[in-house]
Structure 1
């Protein structure tokens, strides 16, 4: 009973922080259902369409770049509140934008919020989590992202259907947002969870590890005591964190100059950016367009995208339940192998599917298999690894560096996918994604240690060379 109570409180903290992941997912995926309508309304060419998709990612890059510094300076909680405010402003602004320029600016504001939560939410969860449950707890953030994806796909599908029904209203804005220009409703509905996030953050405490680094151990001790339901354990956790956070020459600059710490930072950068060139965001952003290129109608393409979102959620639930039991690396080996197989089969379909008379349902099955393999591996593991690889004193900045590379990769794939589909065709594009899986597998096998079940301080000792266990 005592263990359940402790886990229940930490689970509550994780779920609150993970709402940021839901907003991340919704804001990222909602764009897929609005591209055609926005392009038609504002007369966008292919490059401008790519900018419409990619502009939020430029905001994310900026958000990531400042999130670590801001969270180290202000605290994790205040940065989460700031990101919630940015999401709220972005949602309302997008719904009421009457020029492409203003729409882009409000998308960039939302993108800054995405960048911030992508760093601070998993970092906060990692810092309050009990070690033996940390992988699953941080994976709740990834689960929330997938629920956000699914929520966006369902919202797009339902609002599109709603816009075609007959209804009477005296409100010109309601008619404009939910019928005449339904893309406004798709983007604007994000305000509801964003405002909820802003309010509920008030109910959670600051990260105890951040408090210790900021020389506030008494407050940290009280939070640890609540997490572990023991004053003695709370005091012991503070002492454990102090042993690593107060060692000499451990300023952020010194740690970045230490080869032992620079190594995991560079590895984090590598796996973050490589993961974006393995196809997952191309499917999430351009799934409907890819299905349309296979001869599937626009309405059916959105319906297929809902199935992709559903499999993404269910698979992430499975990953959440087994990530601490099987470990991070085994999930990656299994999942990335499946990604390679499915990507090659998708490429085969676009070359020979029509000639062999293979129906579009088979393509959907291949995409669902790919999404399953992705969600069980790199999507579930990446934020867990990035949130636990670095020392307490440098975690914010190190995660910003890795997150910056992740969002640069995401921006590039968002911008390049239309070009790749046009010049390499779907077959060549997915074959390229399959090839990019190989260096990711090599890095995970050769250089990344298994971190399941270890405390953040034990992982720090490993990288510092004071612990021979891998």
Structure 2
């Protein structure tokens, strides 16, 4: 019998190697879940107001204008949080920024639950918004810097998916507490995941990229060795980060001096404005009000809202699965077409009075179709495109501007919807949004590039050579 040796044949792995690999994967997964809880908290804060708004308004005899600001105060805070998060994540670091955001989530959640007046609710909604803005910028950035190259897309997509999960959970919570009419618990229940998020984020490692930006190379290398099961892979990643950091960010200077960069910034602004003006947040914030106009009773309003949130969550999986197969533009064509038709037909039904059960069922179905159209297209894809079209030297500036635009446009929609319904009627308001979605379909054809399968380097090269925006990609 041949003597056994302690070596392992090439191409095979030992049980010890396999266990190390599994432990590393579990560690990255755990880190990803904890960081992505920021998305869950953002979704909860976005969704909770749909169920609580009417109950809160009745208790404090709030006007339409006041209720619009209860909704929109969060977006104002989010705009402030997003615009300050870039500098904060650079100076404090990604981890400390997430800790700060989590702490603000806890404070804002408790404050909303204990609000004693309309002004106090608006104030704490602003606080919640600041946390949402910080998290919306920092969490995807942190996830992209912690994940391996193979898992980066899935890790970053997890944040957006968790936002939709949070909205759905908030709608379910609102439905449960609607039977007792307790709007304080609708807000307060979000404090539980907020505390868990705060505790969990304390144990996250620092971002290796941020550590290298601070000159702390040994710490960065140690964290990468801990997160990758291959020392060669960790060394390769360290070298890649060093090369990337040699490209200095000179966003505002580039914006002032380079007209081609101004084109990409303008496109980023357009993309985010199109996303918000498509009308998704009138459904997320005001679904019960819309269903009330369709003569649903209170509990039916809440259950239908929860079903709409479920469709919104499930349709996000479609976008993740199709974006690299179909391409960006075909999915956007489909999404804007579905949203335009859905809004237009819903307007027709609302204009007819909605007094039959069949018309009410059709209204819920159309809202579900609209949300599915958004969640599979403009919802996630605008973020993908905004990250792809900005040149490396101005990427931080370009993405910060487009993110700020997203929240400010969100604010405009939130603060005007109830007034639009009072001015133009429910049907007229939905026809307005149908027209906007038809316009966005045309704008997609004229200006949006197809970036499927294109390297960021090639997109940047074509942009800086003055190639038309819609021809930057394929």
**TM-score of the alignment, normalized to the shorter chain, above 0.5:** yes
Q: Secondary structure at the match of 2:175?
A: helix
1:68 paired residue number: 86
Separation (CA, whole Å) in 2 of partners of 1:389 and 1:211: 27
1:421 paired residue number: 421
CA 1:73–1:112 in 2, change beyond 3 Å: closer, same or farther? same
1:271 paired residue number: 271
1:98 paired residue number: 116
Name which of 155, 167, 178 aligns with 1:160.
178
2:55 paired residue number: 37
Separation (CA, whole Å) in 1 of partners of 2:379 and 2:473: 26
Deviation at 1:226, TM superposition (A): 4.8
Are the aligned partners of 2:106 and 2:191 in contact in 1 as well (CA < 8 Å)? yes
Separation (CA, whole Å) in 1 of partners of 2:208 and 2:458: 17
Structure 1: unaligned runs, 5 residues or longer: 164-180
CA 1:71–1:463 in 2, change beyond 3 Å: closer, same or farther? farther
2:250 paired residue number: 251
CA 1:65–1:226 in 2, change beyond 3 Å: closer, same or farther? same
CA 1:340–1:80 in 2, change beyond 3 Å: closer, same or farther? same
CA 1:391–1:222 in 2, change beyond 3 Å: closer, same or farther? farther
Separation (CA, whole Å) in 2 of partners of 1:14 and 1:142: 12
Are the aligned partners of 1:86 and 1:109 in contact in 2 as well (CA < 8 Å)? yes
2:70 paired residue number: 52
> C-alpha offsets along residues 38-73 of structure 1, whole Å, 9 cap, x if unaligned?
112111111111111112222112111211221122
- 1:28-427 matches, cutoff 5 A: 28-131=46-149, 133-161=151-179, 163=180, 182-247=182-247, 250-257=249-256, 258-352=258-352, 354=354, 358-390=358-390, 394-427=394-427
CA 1:126–1:458 in 2, change beyond 3 Å: closer, same or farther? farther
1:166 paired residue number: none
Q: CA RMSD in A?
A: 3.0
2:433 is the counterpart of 1:433: yes
Are the aligned partners of 2:81 and 2:133 in contact in 1 as well (CA < 8 Å)? yes
Q: How many residues align?
A: 451
Are the aligned partners of 1:135 and 1:452 in contact in 2 as well (CA < 8 Å)? no
Deviation at 1:25, TM superposition (A): 0.9
1:18 paired residue number: 36
Deviation at 1:118, TM superposition (A): 1.6
Deviation at 1:99, TM superposition (A): 2.6
Q: Secondary structure at the match of 1:305?
A: helix
Separation (CA, whole Å) in 2 of partners of 1:148 and 1:271: 24
Separation (CA, whole Å) in 1 of partners of 2:184 and 2:76: 21
> C-alpha offsets along residues 21-41 of structure 1, whole Å, 9 cap, x if unaligned?
111111111011111221121
2:7 paired residue number: none
Are the aligned partners of 1:57 and 1:411 in contact in 2 as well (CA < 8 Å)? yes
Q: Is the deviation greater in 110-119 or in 200-209?
A: 200-209
CA 1:343–1:9 in 2, change beyond 3 Å: closer, same or farther? farther
Are the aligned partners of 1:64 and 1:119 in contact in 2 as well (CA < 8 Å)? yes
CA 1:62–1:68 in 2, change beyond 3 Å: closer, same or farther? same
1:174 paired residue number: none
2:45 paired residue number: 27
CA 1:444–1:218 in 2, change beyond 3 Å: closer, same or farther? farther
Q: TM-score, normalised by structure 1?
A: 0.86
Q: Is the deviation greater in 35-44 or in 208-217?
A: 208-217
Q: TM-score, normalised by structure 2?
A: 0.85
Are the aligned partners of 2:343 and 2:433 in contact in 1 as well (CA < 8 Å)? yes
Q: Is the deviation greater in 137-146 or in 184-193?
A: 137-146
Are the aligned partners of 1:212 and 1:220 in contact in 2 as well (CA < 8 Å)? yes
Are the aligned partners of 2:249 and 2:395 in contact in 1 as well (CA < 8 Å)? no
Q: Secondary structure at the match of 1:359?
A: helix
Separation (CA, whole Å) in 1 of partners of 2:126 and 2:229: 42
